[in-house]
């Protein structure tokens, strides 16, 4: 087994043992915390330092108490001014004043907190001592394994505190379970001396009289009757610290108890140093409680986060979508709502989030699928396409609306591929494929009509999702991001566009801009947030430049327009498309990893801006790659500032053409595999990948490798896992060509 596999097993054991035993751990820890007050309370009792007890008054009072009932034991309290009597008998239990002999009974029905806590601590009050012993062994194992599972690094997160506490306070926290285990194995506890016996039972008053001949009783701390009829006296040490301890009194004399409680027991109970060793034990209990609670809570939070499931209303109809930028998803939502309004039962889901076996449960699938790249399926659907090759969808009928754009070479290529894969798996078409070119509204309504009539479904569609209306945006400012003359950088600018009224948008949304009326628009990622400024949109625009066949230099239509033609103050017609699949998590505390190459950095300045504005951002890690640190570290100022003010927890860069190591972002992922694994698997960060398709594929492959090296998965299983994460939205990809 590799180290990674051992570590993975340890993590699972650590987690599951802790989870299963949490209730028992909590009982042991909380009662331990209560019991650690015993030495603290006791230290304030017994005769006061220097003051000596009035032995005659004491003997007289004990005699009086014994006349009134049967005391089980007495303790000298309040520095010798009173006695506390332990007894079943309510006539004597409670406080007895030494001077007046007045009795204040113990509260009726009151329970002895320490007794109860001790019972719970040792046997759960159910005679289950063995369970407690096993739990102590396992607690020790979990704590010793802890430091092997995560390195000590300071992070202000639940897991960060858990790890830091586990590491730094280990020597302290180990004392409790180590001594518990030693006690249960009788290690270092010494052998119990044979106790002397008595012929006739001795009362406490008699014991005081017998012992008074040999012992200096004005240092008496307490006395207890044993079952065999003897009495044990506890004496405080004298001024020289000697001669204290326990003595057993029989009818024939006094025997000192040799040895006393072992050091192991004293450490476990916090009695070795009186009040302050009790306080240390209380501190240990608090740390153990902290470890249990932070561990449990972070597990609960992870579970809650993992629940990315389809909206299920049951029924036989699956309304599914394969969407890259959200259009297909929005239209599928409209169909779903329409079916529910029409009284049908249906389930809505991104098709890529389902396993083939889950799809097979639905006799009818209504599917809206878009195309991305050069005739490819959306990112979240690629894994499913692979899985369908070895799946059986017999009995499934589907009707598909494919979204596309005829200006691309492979019109509706994604939909076609998906259709072919479904049919190869045995599904059949309930309706012929319908294709939408450009704005899908018309084709969509026509398709829904056919679905209604041909498939006899009641689907009440009241309106289409608003197609993003055109907005007029003014070029407010531009700034070159790369430094010309520092090697072969690519000309890249940040551009701020300004609206005349407030607009709602989030980082990662897309702005479609065309260079002129009727021209094909180009999409740019929004790198700012309307939560910070609802009128200002930041874009990252790289100039597309190439040499045409005639040898002339050509510029991309839209980037050339934005960077060469549109002067400051020029107004451009744009459309803003929401892109929920690539927005930052709505909860800013959720950890994220942002991976970008080149102008793929575009959305992330907006992520930073929005998280900083929230005031409670969780951990964020940026991994950025480009050619030269000096020349094209795009948005460097923004990210360095974010790192300094903590909005960014960590930043790694890879500049492939610098002399250092020529690494790319995917190489950084491999180099920092343990940390990547921790962010991915332990803290369940959402990973955002933005760049060219080849880059995103290399990054996904590197992530799968991390699962192999750190998680012990087989390569195929690791790829499938990453595919599943893409489908569930735990890994989000935004690619461009």
Ligand X SMILES: Cc1cc2nc3c(=O)[nH]c(=O)nc-3n(C[C@H](O)[C@H](O)[C@H](O)COP(=O)(O)O)c2cc1C
Give residues in contact with ligand X (CB under 6 A).
Answer: 323-328, 370-375, 378, 403-405, 408, 410-413, 440, 523, 736
DSSP H helix total and E strand total for the chain: 23, 28
Please say which residue, 380 or 618, places its beta carbon nearer to ligand X: 380
Please say which residue, 7 or 579, places its beta carbon nearer to ligand X: 579
Q: How far is the CB of 411 from ligand X (least distance, A)?
A: 4
For 511-546, give the DSSP string: EEE-SSTTSPPEEEE--S-TTT-TTEEEEEEEPPEE
Please say which residue, 167 or 408, places its beta carbon nearer to ligand X: 408
Beta pairing partners, 619: none
Check: CB of residue 572 under 8 Å from CB of residue 477.
no
Q: How far is the CB of 375 from ligand X (least distance, A)?
A: 4
And the tokens for 280?
Answer: 């240390």
Check: CB of residue 86 under 8 Å from CB of residue 72.
yes
3 state SS of 685: coil
Q: How far is the CB of 124 from ligand X (least distance, A)?
A: 57
Please say which residue, 374 or 716, places its beta carbon nearer to ligand X: 374
Please say which residue, 246 or 415, places its beta carbon nearer to ligand X: 415
Radius of gyration of the chain (CA): 38
Please say which residue, 581 or 591, places its beta carbon nearer to ligand X: 581
- The torsion region of residue 689 among left (phi > 0), alpha (psi -120 to 50) and beta comes to beta
Q: How far is the CB of 439 from ligand X (least distance, A)?
A: 8
Q: Which helix (H) or strand (E) holds 323?
A: none
CA 49 – CA 385 distance, rounded (Å) = 83
Please say which residue, 327 or 530, places its beta carbon nearer to ligand X: 327
Q: How far is the CB of 656 from ligand X (least distance, A)?
A: 24
Give per-residue burial for 296-333: e unless 16+ CB within 10 Å, then b: bebbebbeebeeeebeeeeeebbbbbbbbbbbbbbbbb
* Residue 616: burial class (beta carbons within 10 Å; 0-12, 13-18, 19+): exposed
Please say which residue, 621 or 736, places its beta carbon nearer to ligand X: 736
Please say which residue, 132 or 401, places its beta carbon nearer to ligand X: 401
Residue 502, φ and ψ in degrees, nearest 5:
-70, 135
Check: CB of residue 369 under 8 Å from CB of residue 418.
yes
Please say which residue, 367 or 704, places its beta carbon nearer to ligand X: 367
3 state SS of 715: helix
Q: How far is the CB of 621 from ligand X (least distance, A)?
A: 26
Q: Which residues contact 113 (CB under 8 A, 6 or more apart)?
A: 34
Please say which residue, 378 or 603, places its beta carbon nearer to ligand X: 378
Find the length of the chain.
Answer: 737
Residue 110, φ and ψ in degrees, nearest 5:
-65, 145
Q: How far is the CB of 556 from ligand X (least distance, A)?
A: 14
Check: CB of residue 425 under 8 Å from CB of residue 387.
no
Query: Three-state SS across 161-212?
Result: HHHHHHHHCHHHHHHHHHHHHHHHCCCCCCCCCCCCCCCCCCCHHHHHHHHH
Residue 49's CB is within 10 A of a number of other CB atoms, namely 8
Q: How far is the CB of 632 from ligand X (least distance, A)?
A: 23
Q: How far is the CB of 524 from ligand X (least distance, A)?
A: 11
Q: How far is the CB of 371 from ligand X (least distance, A)?
A: 4
Please say which residue, 46 or 404, places its beta carbon nearer to ligand X: 404
Please say which residue, 371 or 530, places its beta carbon nearer to ligand X: 371
Q: How far is the CB of 517 from ligand X (least distance, A)?
A: 19
Q: How far is the CB of 697 from ligand X (least distance, A)?
A: 15
Q: How far is the CB of 331 from ligand X (least distance, A)?
A: 8
Nearest residue to 623 via CA among 646, 648, 592, 654: 654
User: How does strand 311-312 pair with strand 428-429?
Assistant: unpaired
And the tokens for 660?
Answer: 């250092």
In the sheet with 82-86, reading across from the earlier edge strand, the strands are 103-105, 94-97, 82-86, 73-77, 220-225, 231-235, 245-250, 253-256
Residue indicated by tokens 């204040």: 104
Q: How far does the chain reach from its first CA to its final CA, in angstroms?
A: 42
Q: How far is the CB of 413 from ligand X (least distance, A)?
A: 5
Q: How far is the CB of 638 from ligand X (least distance, A)?
A: 26
Q: How far is the CB of 137 from ligand X (least distance, A)?
A: 55
3 state SS of 248: strand
Residue 664, φ and ψ in degrees, nearest 5:
-115, 175
Check: CB of residue 454 under 8 Å from CB of residue 425.
no
CA 151 – CA 162 distance, rounded (Å) = 11
Residue closest to ligand X, measured at CB: 404
Q: How far is the CB of 537 from ligand X (least distance, A)?
A: 18
And the tokens for 492?
Answer: 């890249």
Q: Which helix (H) or strand (E) holds 508?
A: none
């Amino acid at each position: 087994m590799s180290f990674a596999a051992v570590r993975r097993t340890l993590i699972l054991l650590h987690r599951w043992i802790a989870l299963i035993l949490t209730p028992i751990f909590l009982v042991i820890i909380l009662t331990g915390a209560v019991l650690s007050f015993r030495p603290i309370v006791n230290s304030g009792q017994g005769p006061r330092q220097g003051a000596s007890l009035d032995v005659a008054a004491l003997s007289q009072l004990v005699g009086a108490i014994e006349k009134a009932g049967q005391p089980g034991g007495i303790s000298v309290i309040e520095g010798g001014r009173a006695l506390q009597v332990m007894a079943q008998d309510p006539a004597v239990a409670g406080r007895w004043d030494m001077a007046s002999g007045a009795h204040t009974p113990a509260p009726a029905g009151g329970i002895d907190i320490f007794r109860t806590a001790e019972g719970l601590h040792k046997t759960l009050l159910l005679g289950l001592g063995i369970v407690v012993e096993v739990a102590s062994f396992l607690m020790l194992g979990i704590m010793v394994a802890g430091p092997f599972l995560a390195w000590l690094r300071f992070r202000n997160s639940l897991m960060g505190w858990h790890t830091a506490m586990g590491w730094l306070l280990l020597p302290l926290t180990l004392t409790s379970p180590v001594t518990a285990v030693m006690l249960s194995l009788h290690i270092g506890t010494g052998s119990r001396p044979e106790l002397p016996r008595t012929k006739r039972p001795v009362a406490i008053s008699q014991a005081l009289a017998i012992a008074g001949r040999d012992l200096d009783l004005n240092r008496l701390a307490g006395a207890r009757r044993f079952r065999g009829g003897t009495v044990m006296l506890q004496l405080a040490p004298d001024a020289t610290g000697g001669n204290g301890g326990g003595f057993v009194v029989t009818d024939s004399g006094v025997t000192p108890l040799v040895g006393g409680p072992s050091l192991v027991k004293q450490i476990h109970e916090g009695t070795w140093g009186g009040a302050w060793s009790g306080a240390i034990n209380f501190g240990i209990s608090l740390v153990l409680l902290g470890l249990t609670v932070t561990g449990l809570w972070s597990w609960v939070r992870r579970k809650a986060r993992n629940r990315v499931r389809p909206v299920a209303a049951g029924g036989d109809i699956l309304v599914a979508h394969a969407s890259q930028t959200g259009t297909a998803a929005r239209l599928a939502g409209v169909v779903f709502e329409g079916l529910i309004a029409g009284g049908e039962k249906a389930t809505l889901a991104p098709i890529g989030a389902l396993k083939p076996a889950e799809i097979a449960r639905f006799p009818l699938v209504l599917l809206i699928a878009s195309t991305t790249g050069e005739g490819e399926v959306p990112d979240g659907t690629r894994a499913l396409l692979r899985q369908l090759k070895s799946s059986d969808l017999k009995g499934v009928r589907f009707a598909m609306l494919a979204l596309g754009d005829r200006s691309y070479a492979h019109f509706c290529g994604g939909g076609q591929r998906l259709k072919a894969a479904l049919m190869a798996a045995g599904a059949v078409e309930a309706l012929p494929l319908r294709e939408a070119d450009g704005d899908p509204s018309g084709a969509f309504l026509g398709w829904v009509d056919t679905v209604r009539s041909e498939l006899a479904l009641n689907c009440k569609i009241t309106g289409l999702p608003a197609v993003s209306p055109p907005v007029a945006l003014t070029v407010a400012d531009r700034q070159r991001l790369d430094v010309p003359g520092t090697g072969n950088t690519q000309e890249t600018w940040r551009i701020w566009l300004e609206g005349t009224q407030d607009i709602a948008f989030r980082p990662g949304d897309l702005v479609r801009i065309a260079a002129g009326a009727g021209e094909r628009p180009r999409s740019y990622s929004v790198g700012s947030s309307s939560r910070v400024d609802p009128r200002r949109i930041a874009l990252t625009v790289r100039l597309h430049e190439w040499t045409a066949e005639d040898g002339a230099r050509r510029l991309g239509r839209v980037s050339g327009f934005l960077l060469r033609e549109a002067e400051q103050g020029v107004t451009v017609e744009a459309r803003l498309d929401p892109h929920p699949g690539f927005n930052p998590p709505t909860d800013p505390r959720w950890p994220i990893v942002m991976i970008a190459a080149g102008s793929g950095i575009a959305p992330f300045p907006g992520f930073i801006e929005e998280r900083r504005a929230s005031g409670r951002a969780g951990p964020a890690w940026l991994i950025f790659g480009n050619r030269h640190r000096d020349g094209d570290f795009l948005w460097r100022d923004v990210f360095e500032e974010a790192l300094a003010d903590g909005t960014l927890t960590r930043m790694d860069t890879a500049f492939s053409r610098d002399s250092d190591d020529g690494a790319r972002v995917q190489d950084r992922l491999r180099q920092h595999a343990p940390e990547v694994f921790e962010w991915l698997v332990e803290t369940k960060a959402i990973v955002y990948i933005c760049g060219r398709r080849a880059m995103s594929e290399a990054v996904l492959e590197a992530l799968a490798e991390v699962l192999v090296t750190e998680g012990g998965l087989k390569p195929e299983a690791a790829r499938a896992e990453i595919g599943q994460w893409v489908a569930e939205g735990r890994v989000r990809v935004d690619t461009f060509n």
